[in-house]
Chains A and B, each alone.
Chain A
Amino acid sequence: MIWLVGGLIGVVILQATVTPLVQIGGVRPDLFFLLLYLGSFKMTPVQACVGGFVLGLYQDALSGAPLGLHAFTLSLLGTVLVRVREEMEENRLIPHLLLIFLTGTAAGLMTLGVIAFLGIGLDLGGALLWIILPQAVYTTGVGGVLLCGTRLGRALEVRL
């Protein structure tokens, strides 16, 4: 799990210092979620659950969120992602992008649900239109670039 620690440090730096510079309409990609998604290629459901929990805790600590909010979302999603990915072919790009979008949207909806449960007043329609869906689309785009980059790296490795 050393790669997860390295990935976590990288994601903390990128999400807190770089993504604010590339935000579109105030929305940034969720790199914590992407790390979990890419990590789910290598993890068992139990590892994904624990890994998601730790990633979520850091996401909560570095935001104004109550501690546990994203830990809940990401631990649940980590388990689901590994299960779904077990049924998928690793080499097909479109299903992966679709899965990132759908699980990203699900993560946003779960977060919104818990926020509403905690009594923090947010407009459901507004949050869906201006936070959840744009974030899922942006995260999917970045995820696509990362997946293509990973494939390109592998292809070059084989040729060399």
Chain B
Amino acid sequence: MVLRLLARYRRTVVLASAILFAFLLMSLATRREENLTPFLKRILLETASPFLRATTYLRDSVADVWGNYVDLRAVRQENLRLKQEIEGLQVRLNVLEEIRRENQRLMTLLDLQETMSFPYVASRVIGRDVTNWFHSVVIDRGSRHGLQPHMAVVAPGGLVGQVVGAGPLSAQIQLITDPVSSVGVLLEHSRVTGLLEGAQFGRLRIKYLPILAEIRVGDVVMTSGLGGVYPKGIRVGQVVAVDKRSGALFQEAGVEPSIDFSRLEEVLVIAGEHADPSRSRRSGE
């Protein structure tokens, strides 16, 4: 009887099951203490990542061959220019080395040794978010390389985001521009803290800035270290607009990220003690 009914209303039953299962997954994904959806996501990610890795490898190989050909043509001039640049950089390096030593001494004095002394895992971006709604990337390193959720990710320009899912050979990084990302930040000049949130179209906004604080356009934004995910002092961007409304309890600021996320190719994952597995995946700080 039941089987006959199921056969008769097969389309409806399949559609209803798919919708119910989808909603079940979504409701599970929003819960903090559950392991099914991260597990499923890892499996799906791992089945797709070999193809992404192969494509990236192929693309890079073609680019290398082409780049080598082009480079050969201009190698002489480039060589001369680079030699001059190296000489200049050597001088700068000596100066910077001296500053670093001085800084290290001062940090020792101030007992701030832990800043920027974490082990990094270098990895390559092999895929970007496949929707226009969210902002994430897939990298070619995973749990086998020591990556875990809630590890901070940086690039030479500044903060990139955090690991939100790690399979054995690949991981997903939530960018700071993602609508559900939030990062505790500190303004370099005014020394006030706020909460940096991602928004649509890759914009960044700092919320909960004290209304009396003097925020200036151009002020450098860096991580505050509050919350335990991101180490203190990583550059995030700079203030491009200040929104101070009369009667409001807080002011807000628009931020231009220091990284061009559309050109992100390599990242460094901070595989240090800042990862805190007990935190929710949908809130960075």
Q: Which residue numbers of A lie inside 8 Å of B, CB to CB?
A: 9, 12-13, 15-17, 19-20, 23, 26-28, 30, 32, 45-46, 49-50, 52-53, 56-72, 75-76, 79, 111, 114-115, 118-123, 126-127, 130-131, 135
Contact = CB atoms under 8 A, between A and B. Distances in A.
B180 interface: yes
Which secondary structure dominates where chain B touches chain A? helix
Contacts of A46: 10-11, 14
A42 B41 CA distance: 28
A66 B131 CA distance: 12
Given A67-B26, A131-B133, A62 B48 contact: yes
A131 B132 contact: yes
Interface in B96-145: 126-136, 138
Interface stretch (B52-60, B225-233, B268-276): B52-60
12 contacts: A16-B128, A59-B130, A62-B44, A62-B129, A62-B130, A62-B138, A63-B134, A66-B37, A71-B21, A72-B26, A118-B26, A126-B200
B174 interface: yes
Given A120-B180, A126-B200, A130-B200, A72 B48 contact: no
Interface of B: 10-11, 14-15, 18-19, 21-26, 28-30, 37, 40-41, 44-45, 48, 51-52, 55-56, 59, 126-136, 138, 164, 172, 174, 178-180, 200-202, 262
A26 B135 CA distance: 11
Q: Looking at chain A's contact residues, is the secondary structure mostly helix, strand, loop, or mixed?
A: helix
Nearest to B19: A72
* Closest A-B pairs by Cβ, 7 of them: A64-B134, A68-B25, A61-B44, A16-B127, A72-B22, A66-B29, A68-B26
A45 B16 CA distance: 13
B233 to A, nearest CB: 26
Contacts of A49: 11, 14-15, 18
A50 B18 contact: yes
Nearest to B128: A20
